[in-house]
Amino acid sequence: MAKRPEWLDNAVFYEIYPQSFRDTDGDGIGNIAGITEKLPYIRDLGCTALWLNPCFDSPFGDAGYDVSDYCKVAPRYGTNEDLEELFREAHKLDMHVILDLVPGHTSWDHPWFKESMKAERNEFTDRYVWTDSVWEEPTGYGSLRGISPRNGSCAVNFFSHQPALNYGFYKPSRPWQQAMDSEGPMATRKAMMDVMRFWLSRGCDGFRVDMAGSLVKNDEDCKGTISLWQDVRKFLDAEFPEAAMVSEWGEPDKSLQGGFHMDFLLHFGPSHYNDLMRCDHPFFAGDGDASAFVAKYLENYEKSQRKGLICIPSGNHDMDRLARNIKGDRRKLVFAFLLSMPGAPYIYYGDEIGMNYVEGLTSVEGGYERTGSRSPMQWDDSRNAGFSTADAAKLYIPQDPSPDRPTAAAEAADPDSLLNEVKKLIRIRQDHRALQSLGEIQFLCDGAPGKPLAYIRSEADEKILVVVNPTEAAYELPAEYTPEETIYSFGKGLDGHRVQGVSAVFLKIR
Ligand code: GLC
């Protein structure tokens, strides 16, 4: 298990989609200076770290997940100096900033790919996964064909404009498939470590790694990809032991073995994460079932030896806003859960004020139905909700048009708002070690239909019993637990030994 930077033990992350957070130069798209300007808001919320979606040079066919220069901030967001300034200002507030590393593919505009398409051999010929004839496609992957003088088809990793970088094949079975340790794949690996070194030496605190499990091809159990990340871990331990690493993998047992500190439970893969907030009958709407999620969570928790951090996000730029399915005060129950679970919680910008999924938007920069979760942050009631002074027609994505859209300013002024509840919950988490990343968890009730989630979080002598009950039925605490003190209560809360319906309580127990 990887050695962890100490700050992760009590970290609460805030994910920022830079396009839509705050625009300080009035061009209708967010920028880095806007993030720096809003650091006090994020700090005041209680978050201690930021994850920024890709902010590097790109033709933006996939919102920046199609990088054309890993070491240059996209001009629309500012300069490298602006990003370094953000690192410095965040550090002054005792916050950390992680960037998005996209190691699986580049844009087809990347100079490496342009070189790789040439018929003559050069330094970048083996940088991508090519077959040796345009008539042969890389089975199992989409491909780019007939676009280059080079006689081959190139595998793609996601959209068609994202050619797959070559980290080799776990078990090569065709002449063009290279072994993981051959020269081309090793050069790609080194190039990616150089990118990491570039930003880490300029003040960045780590990376969220895009599609981290996708690197080595024909690697069914991910054994090759795990060993590749173990190699990266050695590099980080030697040069940047303080760097924090979180993977978009969705299989913590694998990624944590690879040396990541944290892995996300996500809307894809076998996590049952969607059962909680994003399905026809989500658990938090009161008539769902969280038991398959709990079973899977515990399986991962045991497999990762209870040591790595399994991170449950409120949402992200790829999935529906939680507010789409969970209404009103039930959103507070979601946060009572997210902020009392082990691992580091991740809050997607705007979820803390209950921002809506904006229905019916046309796709922007490869967003498709994800675009509705990427609309600009709603700060206040000024022009464009305080996001930008540009003409509304120039905004990167239109603002939520609902007349009752929430804003951060209005919620800050309302003691009963979701924003103030989230703030309170973060403060309580930060005051109690048992509730933080590493406290143990033991489930008492698994959220089967009609039942709440109930669990004990513990660390050294501290024990906290958490009940999050979105159902209408009351829950009787097991007789052996006598609450000593209520440290958090929402809804009707505790009545004697019963937690009422649509309530959440955190109770100190012995
Ligand atoms: C990840 C990103 C997503 C992107 C894809 C391709 O899943 O979160 O936004 O489109 O990878 O890079």
Strand pairing class (143-144; 154-155)? antiparallel
Judge whether 210 and 248 are in contact, CB under 8 Å.
yes
Strand ranges of the sheet holding 498-499, from the earlier edge strand across to the other edge: 475-476, 498-499, 494-495
CA of 320 to the centre of ligand 1 (A): 14
Give me the chain's average pLDDT, please. Answer: 97
Query: Please, is 94 exposed, middle or buried when counting C-beta atoms within 10 Å of its C-beta (0-12, 13-18, 19+)?
Result: exposed
- SS3 for 466? strand
Side chain identity at residue 180, one-letter code: M
* Secondary structure of 325-344 as H, E, C letters: CCCCCHHHHHHHHHCCCCCC
Judge whether 362 and 397 are in contact, CB under 8 Å.
no
Residue 121, pLDDT above cutoff 90: yes
Tell me: the pLDDT tens digits for 209-248?
999 999 999 999 999 999 999 999 999 999 999 999 999 9
Strand partners, 154: 130, 144
What are the φ and ψ backbone dihedral angles of 498, each rounded to 5 degrees? -110, 130
Q: Kindly state if the Cβ of 211 falls inside 6 Å of ligand 1.
A: yes
Q: Kindly state if the Cβ of 334 falls inside 6 Å of ligand 1.
A: no
Taking the CA of residue 318 as reference, the ligand 1 atom at the shortest distance is 9
Region 383-401: mean pLDDT is 98
The pLDDT-based confidence of 1 (bands split at 50, 70, 90) is low
Buried b (16+ CB within 10 A) or exposed e, 251-261: bbbbbbbbbbb
Q: Percent of the chain at pLDDT above 70? A: 99
> DSSP string of 69-87?
EEEEE-TTT--HHHHHHHH
Q: Kindly state if the Cβ of 100 falls inside 6 Å of ligand 1.
A: no
The pLDDT value given to residue 266: 86
**What span, in angstroms and rounded, lies between the C-alpha atoms of 445 and 315?**
24
Report CA-CA distances (Å) from 406 to 313, 399, 488: 21, 12, 25
CA of 46 to the centre of ligand 1 (A): 27
Angle at CA 484, nearest 5°, toward 480 and 488?
110
SS3 content of the chain, % helix, strand, coil (to 5): 30, 20, 50
Which of 318, 368, 373 is the pocket-test mutation for ligand 1 (most atoms within 8 Å of CB)?
A: 318
- SS3 for 141? coil
Report CA-CA distances (Å) from 358 to 320, 322, 370, 388, 389: 9, 12, 10, 18, 21
Angle at CA 428, nearest 5°, toward 426 and 429?
65
Tell me: the pLDDT tens digits for 29-50?
999 999 999 999 999 999 999 9
Residues with Cβ < 8 Å from 299, sequence gap 6 or more? none
Tally Cβ neighbours within 10 Å of residue 229.
28
Residues with Cβ < 8 Å from 196, sequence gap 6 or more? 101, 207, 232, 235, 236, 240, 243
The pLDDT value given to residue 268: 83
Judge whether 170 and 182 are in contact, CB under 8 Å.
no
Which of 102, 158, 165, 374 is the pocket-test mutation for ligand 1 (most atoms within 8 Å of CB)?
A: 158
Tell me: the pLDDT tens digits for 263-273?
998 888 889 99
Judge whether 490 and 504 are in contact, CB under 8 Å.
yes
Residue 120, pLDDT above cutoff 90: yes
Query: Please, is 455 exposed, middle or buried when counting C-beta atoms within 10 Å of its C-beta (0-12, 13-18, 19+)?
Result: buried
Q: Kindly state if the Cβ of 62 falls inside 6 Å of ligand 1.
A: yes
The pLDDT-based confidence of 88 (bands split at 50, 70, 90) is very high
Q: Kindly state if the Cβ of 269 falls inside 6 Å of ligand 1.
A: no
Supply the pTM of this predicted model: 0.98
Judge whether 385 and 378 are in contact, CB under 8 Å.
yes
CA atoms within 13 A on the CB side of 39: 20
- SS3 for 230? helix
Which of 51, 56, 62 is the pocket-test mutation for ligand 1 (most atoms within 8 Å of CB)?
A: 62
Enclosing H/E stretch for 255: helix 252-257
Report CA-CA distances (Å) from 482 to 341, 378, 392, 442: 21, 43, 56, 16
Judge whether 233 and 259 are in contact, CB under 8 Å.
yes
Q: What is the length of the chain?
A: 510
**What span, in angstroms and rounded, lies between the C-alpha atoms of 441 and 458?**
7
Tell me: the pLDDT tens digits for 255-301?
999 999 999 988 888 899 999 999 999 999 999 999 999 999 999 99
Residue 182, pLDDT above cutoff 70: yes
Instruction: Between 489 and 139, name the one with better pLDDT.
Output: 489
Dihedral of alpha carbons 448, 471, 341, 312, sign: positive
Report CA-CA distances (Å) from 133 to 130, 352, 503: 8, 52, 62
